Amino acid sequence: MLGETKVSFSGVQPSGNLTIGNYLGAIRNFSLYSEAYKCFYCVVDSHAITVRQVPAELRRRTYETLALYIACGLDPQKNTLYVQSHVHEHTELAWILNCFTMFGELSRMTQFKDKSTKHADNINAGLFTYPVLMASDILLYQTDVVPIGIDQKQHVELCRNIADRFNQIYPGTFTMPEPIIAKDGKKIMSLAEPTKKMSKSDENANAVVYILDDKDTIIRKFKRAVTDSDTCVRFAEGKDGINNLMSIYSCFTQKTYEEIEREFEGRGYGDFKLAVGEACAAALEPIQKEYAKLLADKAYLEQVMAKGAEEASYVARRTLGKVKKKLGFVIPSSHT
């Protein structure tokens, strides 16, 4: 345990350019917990390899994701920022937890079904069991809260099931984590198919706004966003495209839907799409500038990685040691 201070944990894969969905649904909210919680925020590179990666790109994106963490407001002095594969306890605990996870539970995971469809030529065991690694990520740090997007809720529920099952047999081992889902921006949808979540792996570049898109690209993408045959900016059932744009605009401007409807009363979708694009670009500009500065200083990023891995390993070792003792493993004298 970490004493009286509660723990927050979350992670992002370095497997593709991060979107405004990643930012609004998760990363932007991470810094809110820095004062009240001990925060562990991880670049989950081990999760990324369930899908084939180009090694050089995975390395580059690992640095980029860490730089984006910091650029989005995560101070390395207040948060433990590190790379998952630098802390071997993640995968070691995952094997143990595999033995406390039911096959049926994993077969019901929505993301396994989705990824199996997308990568039918590579339905590997890691793709099936990676929710157990995610549970390991969380439980290693005796995590109290997990800030997530709504699409990750099923994974945290599975994590809780695994923790409860283990605790039933070996009481007092794991803290039971609670998911925290942001009310605003919890699920940003595709600009091309507004009934589908915005995904960094979408083959249609116009469907996705990336955190690092320049202003002209952002505005162009929003201008092309799918809406409907109506011309009234209002939040209503059946207006998925406009509802999504209103959600995005609300996140970036802090305006309510009622205020947005009043602002654009009597104005068409063209004006509204432009305003959404400009608000998004304005919010991302300072992040992009800070990111560029950070990425140019590779030595600093490696320093952050090393410090974070050392901090994370200290806590992870304690939890893993407790688990091994309860299971009856012989602990080498050098580890005690």
Greater pLDDT, 73 or 113:
73
Amino acid at 176: M
d(CA 290, CA 68): 9
Task: Spot the catalytic one: 6, 78, 153, 200.
Answer: 200
Q: Looking at the domain assignment, is residue 187 inside a domain?
A: no
Tell me the β-bridge partners of 7: 38
* Whether residue 94 sits in one domain with residue 24: yes
What's the whole-number mean pLDDT along residues 97-125?
83
Q: Looking at the domain assignment, is residue 312 inside a domain?
A: yes
* Whether residue 12 sits in one domain with residue 100: yes
* Whether residue 78 sits in one domain with residue 139: yes
* Whether residue 285 sits in one domain with residue 167: no
CA torsion sign for 248, 41, 14, 67 is positive
Q: How confident is the model at residue 16 (pLDDT cuts 50, 70, 90)?
A: low
Q: What are the pLDDT digits (tens) for 296-322?
A: 999 999 999 999 999 999 999 999 999
Q: Do residues 32 and 267 lie in contact, with contact meaning Cβ atoms separated by under 8 Å? A: no
* Whether residue 324 sits in one domain with residue 278: no
Q: Looking at the domain assignment, is residue 191 inside a domain?
A: no
Q: Enter the DSSP assignment of 203.
A: S
* Whether residue 19 sits in one domain with residue 119: yes
Q: Do residues 222 and 245 lie in contact, with contact meaning Cβ atoms separated by under 8 Å? A: yes
* Whether residue 277 sits in one domain with residue 231: yes
From the number of C-beta atoms within 10 Å of its C-beta (0-12, 13-18, 19+), residue 170 rates as middle
* Whether residue 138 sits in one domain with residue 82: yes
Alpha-carbon distances of 86 from 47, 76, 299, rounded to whole Å: 13, 16, 16
* Whether residue 169 sits in one domain with residue 55: yes
For helices 298-327 and 89-98, the axis angle rounded to 10 degrees is 40
* Whether residue 126 sits in one domain with residue 249: no
Q: Looking at the domain assignment, is residue 327 inside a domain?
A: yes
Q: Do residues 63 and 105 lie in contact, with contact meaning Cβ atoms separated by under 8 Å? A: no
CATH number of the domain to which 225 belongs: 1.10.240.10
* Whether residue 273 sits in one domain with residue 238: yes
Q: Looking at the domain assignment, is residue 144 inside a domain?
A: yes
* Whether residue 77 sits in one domain with residue 144: yes
CATH number of the domain to which 170 belongs: 3.40.50.620
Task: Spot the catalytic one: 197, 221, 239, 273.
Answer: 197
Question: Catalytic annotation on 326?
Answer: no
Question: Catalytic annotation on 298?
Answer: no
> What's the length of the chain?
336
Q: What are the pLDDT digits (tens) for 53-85?
A: 899 999 999 999 999 999 999 999 999 999 999
Range in 29-33, 138-142, 175-179, 230-234 the model is least confident about: 29-33
Question: Catalytic annotation on 78?
Answer: no
Q: What are the pLDDT digits (tens) for 259-286?
A: 999 999 888 899 999 999 999 999 999 9
From the number of C-beta atoms within 10 Å of its C-beta (0-12, 13-18, 19+), residue 312 rates as buried
Structural domain boundaries, residue 273: 205-292
Average pLDDT over the chain, rounded to an integer: 91
